[in-house]
């Protein structure tokens, strides 16, 4: 990146602050952020409590796999819903053109949008995971808790939460720059967020044997993909097409 292309964190902060203020007052987004995580956390907690202490190992593994999967849907689906709104939402409400006539660069605009979806998502996802672990630690049978607290599983969850959110956000923003309807963007964005969740599912169900090394390796790989995705999406961002719907 040359000096000329240096990012302005003042502009990015301004965008993040505006987005968060706007989300808080957008009933659909506020509801999505409040209700979905609760659903994805409560269901695994209930399942864990319903499991008898002498449940066979296979059933316990399956339960842990499903729980991991459901909790991972929080960083996958919430930012997809929020970030899908990023560009097409601005277009629909007529605010994109005024923003694009300011000195903001595409990379700053997209990074601001991504961070505004990323930060609340990761906080919510970690809080929900913390509540889940707390409930399991306090109230579940020690055998079950032991399996859920297995270090590689915890590390997988902690590492994958931000990188899965990153993937979901960039996929959703990429779709948002290309579609002209918010609902279509949200549906496609939700679908596009799922591939990394499939990897988590394979780990959760022990199809891929979980280990600390695997979690770190996959997490690092996904992080690199997220960074490349940011640059790719920035390259896809054409002011002209976004403003006029056509390219010269």
Partner 1 sequence: MTVESDSAATRTRAVPTGPAIVVDGLTKRFGQRTAFADVTFSVDYGEVFGFLGPNGAGKTTTVRTLGTLLAPSAGTATVAGLPLTEANGVAIRSRIAVMPEQPGLYLRLSVAENLDFFAGLYELDDRRGRIERALRAVNLLDRADDPCRSLSKGLRQRVGLARALLSDPQILFLDEPTSGLDPLAARDVHDLVDGLRRRGVTIFLTTHRLAEAEALCDRVGIMNTTLRTIGRPDELRERLFAKTLQVATAAPLADPDRVLVGLPGVEGWHASEQGYVLAVTDPDLAAPAVARAVIGAGADLLALTPSRHSLEDVYLQLIDEDVEAQAR
Ramachandran sector of residue 245 (left: φ over 0; alpha: ψ -120 to 50; beta: rest): left
Listed in sequence order, the residues at least 6 apart from 181 whose beta carbon sits closer than 8 Å to its beta carbon are 88
Contact 136, 183 (CB under 8 A): no
Of the residues 7, 17, 49, 217, which one makes contact with partner 1 according to CB under 8 A:
17
Specify the residue, 81 or 200, whose C-beta has the smaller distance to partner 1: 81
Specify the residue, 86 or 192, whose C-beta has the smaller distance to partner 1: 86
Count of beta carbons in the 10 Å neighbourhood of residue 222: 19
Q: Is 18 in the site for partner 1 (CB under 8 A)?
A: yes
Q: Is 234 in the site for partner 1 (CB under 8 A)?
A: no
**Nearest-angstrom CA–CA distance, 224 and 87:** 23
Q: Is 128 in the site for partner 1 (CB under 8 A)?
A: no
Of the residues 101, 123, 127, 191, which one makes contact with partner 1 according to CB under 8 A:
101
CB 33, min distance to partner 1, A: 15
Q: Is 239 in the site for partner 1 (CB under 8 A)?
A: yes
**Which of 45, 112, 29 lies closest to 77, judged by CA?**
29
- From residue 22 to residue 61, what is the string marking binding to partner 1 with x (rule CB under 8 A)? x--xx-----------------------------------
Eight-state DSSP code of residue 5? G
Ramachandran sector of residue 221 (left: φ over 0; alpha: ψ -120 to 50; beta: rest): alpha
Residues contacting partner 1: total by CB under 8 A: 33
- Piece of the chain touching partner 1 by CB under 8 A; list 89-97, 163-171, 174-182, 186-194: 89-97
Of the residues 4, 56, 138, 209, which one makes contact with partner 1 according to CB under 8 A:
4
Of the residues 42, 66, 100, 115, which one makes contact with partner 1 according to CB under 8 A:
100
Helix (H/G/I), strand (E/B), else coil: 239: helix
Q: Alpha helices of 53-95 — where are they, by DSSP H?
A: 57-92
Residue position matching structure tokens 């961002």: 237
**Which of 74, 193, 192 lies closest to 132, judged by CA?**
74
Using CB under 8 A, list all residues that contact partner 1: 4, 8, 10-11, 13-15, 17-18, 21-22, 25-26, 93-105, 239-240, 243-244, 246-248
């Amino acid at each position: 990146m040359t000096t000329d292309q240096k990012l302005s964190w003042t502009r990015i902060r301004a965008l993040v602050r505006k987005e968060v203020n706007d989300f808080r007052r957008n009933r659909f987004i506020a509801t999505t952020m409040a209700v979905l995580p609760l659903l994805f956390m409560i269901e695994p907690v209930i399942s864990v409590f319903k499991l008898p202490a002498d449940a066979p190992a296979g059933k316990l593994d399956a339960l842990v796999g499903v729980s991991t999967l459901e909790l991972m849907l929080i960083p996958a689906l919430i930012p997809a819903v929020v970030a899908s709104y990023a560009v097409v939402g601005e277009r629909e409400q007529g605010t994109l053109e005024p923003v694009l006539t300011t000195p903001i660069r595409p990379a700053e605009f997209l990074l601001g949008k991504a961070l505004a979806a990323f930060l609340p998502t990761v906080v919510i996802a970690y809080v929900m995971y913390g509540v889940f672990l707390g409930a399991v630690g306090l109230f579940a049978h020690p055998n079950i808790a032991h399996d859920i607290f297995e270090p590689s599983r915890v590390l997988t969850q902690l590492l994958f939460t931000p990188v899965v959110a990153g993937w979901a956000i960039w996929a959703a923003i990429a779709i948002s720059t290309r579609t002209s309807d918010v609902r279509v963007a949200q549906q496609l964005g939700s679908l596009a967020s799922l591939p990394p969740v499939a990897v988590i599912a394979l780990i959760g169900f022990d199809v891929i044997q979980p280990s600390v090394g695997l979690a770190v390796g996959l997490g690092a790989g996904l992080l690199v993909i997220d960074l490349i995705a940011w640059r790719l999406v920035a390259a896809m961002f054409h002011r002209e097409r976004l403003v006029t719907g056509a390219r010269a």
